Amino acid sequence: MARVIFEQVSKFFGDVVALRDLDLEVHDREFIVLVGPSGSGKSTALRLVAGLEEATTGRIYIGNRVVNDLAPKDRDVAMVFQSYALYPHMNAYDNMAHPLRLRRLPRGEVDERVRRTAEMLGIAELLQRKPRELSGGQRQRVALGRALVRDPAVFLMDEPLSNLDVKLRVATRAELIRLHERLRTTTIYVTHDQQEAMTLGDRIAVLNNGILQQLGAPEVLYNRPGNLFVAGFIGNPAMSFFDVQIIAEGEAVFVEGIGVKLQLPPHVARPIERRIGEEIVLGIRPEHLFEPHDVEHAPPDSTVEATVDLVEPMGAEVYVHLVIARQHFTARLGPDCELRRGQRTTLVVDTRKLHLFDKRTQRSLLY
């Protein structure tokens, strides 16, 4: 087992910045997820740990060793790729045994490790099949098993579930969680799927344009996003944003924009009392909007009026897309919602859970 440390690590491809000044410590036995859109630098960070790319600046530690100059085979890491990368001419057993044979381990130990791992992954009965005879999920388990048999200090996983269908992806995600709880091997997992990140990670590192935006537990990133990017990236459906101004009326503090005027509760108003008159960005999560009949005692000045643009029934919930003066936003309402396109409606905002951001720096004003 080992921790992994990025110390001021940057990676440039010519004039393209793939990663800039990354400072990050992955704790021993931790499952950390690197998440972000395409081109954010998450896969580059993983490849730097594996030794498949060379850092332009900075140092990378695995355990207590600086590994910048170590060959990939000497880093004691195992990597699972988005593509299964199985040898088509080998059966599942031989694919899993291959890295152990390269290390010239005794035949008995190779057999014991392969069969134990296959049993753990539920593929013991598939060991004699070639990759073409396996489903996508089975192939991904073989690829995972090939990494597991090595018993490495660090697992590196680069979007390993992205080729699976939705149902299988959810099931395999659960298996990965149980597997990590059993093995407790340090794991760095890359994905662009924020829902996958929220489910799997002990902590999540959000990257964008090669820069670490925020690092924290899933509930911290959801409840206390540090900036506009994290707020908009974490959560499904995404947070909606409004340009507003902070105003005071007597003792009360409001945020007001076109078609929006909400009174801030004391714990939200307190951090921004000195910014009266400033223009800021208001963030509202879809799940913090409600129909009036679902709220017994709505606080004063906590409603918005909007026109329904689109209704998406999802079974257990309904996504309602709305418009206020050309400003589009989304509400996640209960399954009994009867709103229809073109209808004018009033929604109650849970003002205790508003998010406020500096318009220039895009940093949160509350956290």
For the chain, the straight-line distance linking the first and the last C-alpha, in angstroms and rounded, comes to 34
Please choose, from the candidates 187, 107, 108, the residue with its C-alpha nearest in 3D space to the C-alpha of residue 153: 187
DSSP per position, 144-162: HHHHHTT--SEEEEESTTT
Structural domain boundaries, residue 337: 240-358
| % helix, strand, coil for the chain, step of 5 | 30, 35, 35
What rounded mean pLDDT belongs to the chain?
Answer: 93
Q: Looking at the structure, do residues 132 and 31 belong to the same domain, yes or no?
A: yes
CA–CA dist 183, 192 (Å, integer): 25
Instruction: Name the 3-class secondary structure at 339.
Output: coil
pLDDT at 163 over 80: no
Q: The whole model's pTM is what? A: 0.90
Domain count, the chain: 2
Q: In this predicted model, what pLDDT tens digit does every residue of 80-139 receive, in sequence order? A: 887 778 899 999 999 999 989 988 999 999 999 999 889 888 889 999 999 999 988 888
* pLDDT, tens only, 61-77: 999 999 999 999 899 99
Residue 139 domain-assigned (yes or no): yes
Instruction: Determine whether 63 is exposed, middle or buried from the number of CB atoms within 10 Å of its CB (0-12, 13-18, 19+).
Output: middle
If one counts every other C-beta atom within 10 angstroms of the C-beta of residue 216, the result is: 18
Give the per-residue pLDDT at 1. Answer: 61
Residue 211 pLDDT greater than 90, yes or no: yes
Instruction: Please state the rounded mean pLDDT for residues 328-347.
Output: 95
Q: 96 and 15, same structural domain? A: yes
Q: What is the pLDDT of residue 103?
A: 86
pLDDT band of residue 299 (cuts 50, 70, 90) is confident
Claim to verify: residue 216 and residue 252 sit in the same structural domain? no
Tally of CB atoms within 10 A around 246: 22
Residue 320 lies in a domain: yes
Three-class secondary structure of residue 283 per DSSP:
strand
Quote the tokens at residue 47.
Answer: 């490849």
User: Does 366 reside within a domain?
Assistant: no
Q: Is the pLDDT of residue 306 over 70?
A: yes
